Amino acid sequence: MPRATANGIDLEYDEHGRPGDPVILLIMGLGAQMTSWDESFVRDLAGRGFRVVRFDNRDIGLSSFLDGAGTPDLAAAATTGEIPAPTYTLADMAADAVGLLDHLGVERAHIVGASMGGMIAQTFVVAYRSRSLTLTSIFSTTGAPDVGQPHEGVAEALFLSAPGADRTGYIDGAVASAKLIGSPGFAFDEDAVRAKAGRDFDRSHHPAGVARQVLAVLLQPDRTADLSRLSIPTLVVHGDADPLVDVSGGRATAAAIPGAELWVVPGMGHDLPPSLFSELADRIAANCRRV
């Protein structure tokens, strides 16, 4: 896969679709590599007439690690309530995405983000309006403290437990996480989860980077006022059974952005069930064509 030097770091990325088609930039969430955008979904989206670009955020996958900054002690922060200063912010991560577009020679793009990636996508379209054609925000939130919060015990179970140090432990942890935050209204395919987790571990395993990303999320600003000044076509997607980012975060995002379309998916949690790939691609493509 190619790499781009962007915003002072290296970003691993790939592309699907024809070079001359409008660009959709996919931004993935906390601790998730770009391969969490399932390749069949990416190809499906590209087949609708788009050049689809996905990439590893900083500190994850095959992009640059910022290990020189040290590893924050999230357990201590949870105990004391004192959150250490972040190594970087969501604004820095949005600037990474701009740098990638610059590397690709892309002036304007459709911005799509999931979870933390949705927070980065929102930050992107607020800060770089001239570079943004549309926004799709998937199971994300505005940063307002009274919406989009995890259900009781969920965040602690995900982020404060020690990650599996070896491949088997990592895979078992991925299955436990998928059962905790996945979609109760859709079939659970444990074999597929295990296979993907194994591929993820083999590609890259970097828990220190995830901890630094957590701080960027914890210290994000409330974007509600800035979102209310947007004037681009916006699609907000959220599951009504999401225990990690409560559906109130998606509702608040749609309420903040003038003219935003809200799609609340019954039975969907904090993942993208494969049976929704086609409809999600249809809805993203339709939002892109509202420009």
Question: Is-contact 164 241, C-beta < 8 A?
Answer: no
Contact 129, 109 (CB under 8 A): no
Query: Residue 105 pLDDT > 90, yes or no?
Result: yes
The region, left, alpha or beta by phi > 0 then psi within -120 to 50, assigned to residue 17 is: left
Q: Where do the domains of the chain lie, and which CATH numbers do they carry?
A: 3-288 (3.40.50.1820)
Q: Is the pLDDT of residue 261 over 70?
A: yes
Two tokens, residue 26: 């996919």
Residue 27 · residue 120 · CB < 8 Å: yes
Q: Stretch 255-279: mean pLDDT, rounded?
A: 98
Measured from the Cβ of residue 170, the count of other Cβ atoms closer than 10 Å reads 18
φ/ψ of 84, rounded to 5, equals -70, 160
The DSSP secondary structure of 116-134, one letter per residue, reads HHHHHHHHHHHH-GGGEEE
Per-residue tokens: 251: 């509702």
Pick from 22, 45, 118: nearest CA to 280:
45
Residue 265 CA neighbour count, 13 Å, CB half: 26
Amino acid at 165: A
Contact 204, 231 (CB under 8 A): no
pLDDT exceeds 80 at position 288: yes
What confidence tier does 29 reach under pLDDT thresholds 50, 70, 90?
Answer: very high
Task: Check pLDDT > 80 for residue 163.
Answer: no
Stretch 87-104: mean pLDDT, rounded?
98
At 156 the pLDDT is 86
For residue 74, what pLDDT band results from cuts at 50, 70 and 90?
A: confident
Q: Above 80 in pLDDT, residue 1?
A: no
Range scoring the smallest mean pLDDT among 48-62, 155-169, 173-187 = 155-169
| Strands of 51-55's sheet in order across | 3-6, 9-16, 51-55, 23-27, 109-114, 132-138, 234-239, 261-265
Asked which of 24-33, 69-78, 179-188, 205-214 is least confident by mean pLDDT, the reply is: 69-78
Helix (H, G, I), strand (E, B) or coil at 256: helix
Q: For residues 281 and 286, what is the distance between their CA atoms, to the nearest angstrom?
A: 8
Predicted pLDDT of residue 158: 86
> For position 124, what pLDDT does the model report?
98
Q: Would you list the DSSP string of 195-227?
A: HHHHHHHHH---HHHHHHHHHHHHTPPP-HHHH
Average pLDDT, integer, range 174-186: 96
Of 78, 84, 97, nearest to 4 by C-alpha is: 97
* Average pLDDT for the chain: 96
Mapped onto helix, strand or coil, the DSSP state of residue 264 is: strand
| SS3 label, residue 26 | strand
Question: Does position 266 have pLDDT exceeding 90, yes or no?
Answer: yes
What is residue 39's predicted lDDT score, i.e. its pLDDT? 97
Q: What is the pLDDT of residues 38-71, one digit of tens each?
A: 999 999 999 999 999 999 999 999 999 999 999 9
Average pLDDT over residues 115-144: 98
Q: At what angle do helices 277-288 and 39-46 cross, to 10 degrees?
A: 40
Of all residues in the chain, the percent with pLDDT exceeding 70 is 99
Q: pTM above 0.85?
A: yes
**The dihedral formed by the CA atoms of 264, 267, 272 and 274, expressed in degrees to the nearest 10:** -120
Model confidence at 165: pLDDT above 80: no
Average pLDDT over residues 257-283: 98
d(CA 123, CA 291): 20
- pLDDT higher than 70, residue 141: yes
- pLDDT at 80 exceeding the cut of 90: no
pLDDT score recorded for residue 237: 99
Whole-number pLDDT of residue 76: 84
The pLDDT of residue 162 is 64
Looking at residue 159, its pLDDT comes to 78
